[in-house]
Structure 1
Amino acid sequence: MHILLTRPIEDCSEMIVKFQSLDHKVSHLPLINIQKVQHEVINSRDYGGLIFTSSNAVKNLNAENLNKKLICFCVGSATEKKARNLGFQNTISAEGNVSNLKELILQNYELKETPLLYISGEIITTDLDQQLLKEGYAVKRIINYKVNHTETFDENFVNELKQNMPDIVYVYSQNSASSFLNFIKIYQTENLWMNTNLMCIGEKTSSILNEIKWKKIFLFNPGEEEFLLYKI
């Protein structure tokens, strides 16, 4: 099977090795790159817990002086793993869903004056901080990274892709979906994806690519990539 992965290489290198070990052909088309954003110094004593809705928020965190015993609410297992690698000891994972993450916070963090710190990218798909504020929580949001869209692509890669279209493509965010749609239109491949299965995280991500005709569209959570191979 031919699989196209679209995340930055540091986020999918393990998956490339895994799929190749299963005798699949893997192509890599990074659609975005992550740029760290400088932010104010965080004083751990001001917060009772941290919220991460992406592993990029953890990777770009200046964590040297943070209290590693703070509870960390993580959107999924990959994000939780990054947090634990940074030394955070008290982590909880919502298994890839922001709605589940909100419920996890409501169930495990008492409504009190000590604020939660939500660390995120410049653009978020769900305004989790605003939702928690409506529930009566004190939440502060800090932006520590932004997403840049890939604007140039290797012509040889594009030509090879046209000759051997993938059976599956994984798209992980609305930003990536927008970049992917742009890629498709730049290289006029709109009619070449009819035998490709599109795997997207969330309906908002898939809706951006609905104008392209796909074989099938599947929604998934991070960690389910290999499982999806057996659904098509």
Structure 2
Amino acid sequence: MHLLLTRPEAESQALRQTLEARGHRVDAAPMLAIRQKHAVDLPLDGVTAVLFTSANGVRAFCDATPRRDFTVYAVGPASALAAKAAGFTRVEAAGGDVDLLAQLVRARHQQGAGALLHAAGSARAGDLQAMLQADGYDVRRCVLYDAETAIALPDAVAARFGAGGYDGALFFSPRTAATFVTLVQAAGIIAGATSATAYCLSANVAREARSLPWRAVTVAENPSEAALLALIE
């Protein structure tokens, strides 16, 4: 199949190699550009656990400090794997969104057992800090990176999509899917979606993608890259 990746560039490289090894043709049109903030002063005094809502947060946190002695509560499997790969040994994963992450923290982290640091991006997909502060937790939100949305599709991608040249497009976040929809609409190439399937990591992602007339919209069984690849295969 001819597939389109919409993840940020750093997160797409390994996935692209995996898909190409399985015989697929792959193009990339990153919908977000990750810009890490530098010289960030992390408020780590009293912190015993770190909250990661993306693999980008893991990378930015690890660039800011060498410490890996915290318990990690990750939003989903991808963030948890990134944390383990970075050297954290106490890692637990939620089911893929901030509501489930808040539930995980409430179940695993006793109030008074230390502060929580949310290694966050500038764009919020739900206010995790407010959710947990309402329950009495000491939560510190530290913005470590910006995720800037694309302003246009690459010319070659727009031309191929408009001509119905893709069999499928992969979407890993609601914001990515929403940005792609906006850019396709702005380019006047909506009809190209009728030839392709939207492969979505979760129901929330699919909700944004459905604004285009896809041939089909499919949702991974669980919010993991492996489950999304299973949809394609």
TM above 0.5, one fold?
yes
Mark the CA change 1:53 to 1:64 in structure 2 (over 3 Å): closer, same or farther: closer
1:21 to 2:21 alignment:
yes
Aligned to 1:99: 99
* Residue 7 of structure 1, CA deviation: 0.8
Aligned to 2:217: 217
- Inter-partner Cα distance in structure 1 for 2:57 and 2:209: 26
Aligned to 1:49: 49
* Residue 169 of structure 1, CA deviation: 1.0
Aligned to 2:191: 191
CA offset digits 1:79-126 (Å, max 9, x no partner): 123223333222112253433322221221111162211111111212
- Inter-partner Cα distance in structure 2 for 1:137 and 1:43: 15
Mark the CA change 1:99 to 1:167 in structure 2 (over 3 Å): closer, same or farther: same
Which of 30-39 and 5-14 deviates more? Answer: 30-39
Contact 1:39 1:142 in 2 (8 A): no
Mark the CA change 1:19 to 1:192 in structure 2 (over 3 Å): closer, same or farther: same
Mark the CA change 1:24 to 1:40 in structure 2 (over 3 Å): closer, same or farther: closer
Contact 1:44 1:66 in 2 (8 A): no
Aligned to 1:226: 229
Aligned to 2:166: 166
- Inter-partner Cα distance in structure 1 for 2:4 and 2:106: 37
Mark the CA change 1:14 to 1:66 in structure 2 (over 3 Å): closer, same or farther: closer
Gaps of 5+ in 1: none
Q: 1:176-187 maps to which residues of 2 (within 5 A)? A: 176-187=176-187
Mark the CA change 1:26 to 1:63 in structure 2 (over 3 Å): closer, same or farther: closer
What's the C-alpha RMSD, in Å, of the aligned pairs?
A: 2.3
- Inter-partner Cα distance in structure 2 for 1:28 and 1:63: 26
Provide the identity percentage. 20
Mark the CA change 1:214 to 1:18 in structure 2 (over 3 Å): closer, same or farther: same
* Residue 158 of structure 1, CA deviation: 2.7
* Residue 66 of structure 1, CA deviation: 5.1
- Inter-partner Cα distance in structure 2 for 1:9 and 1:53: 18
CA offset digits 1:6-42 (Å, max 9, x no partner): 1122101111111111112212111110111347422
* SS across alignment from 1:96: coil
* Residue 208 of structure 1, CA deviation: 3.2
**TM-score scaled to structure 2, two decimals?**
0.87
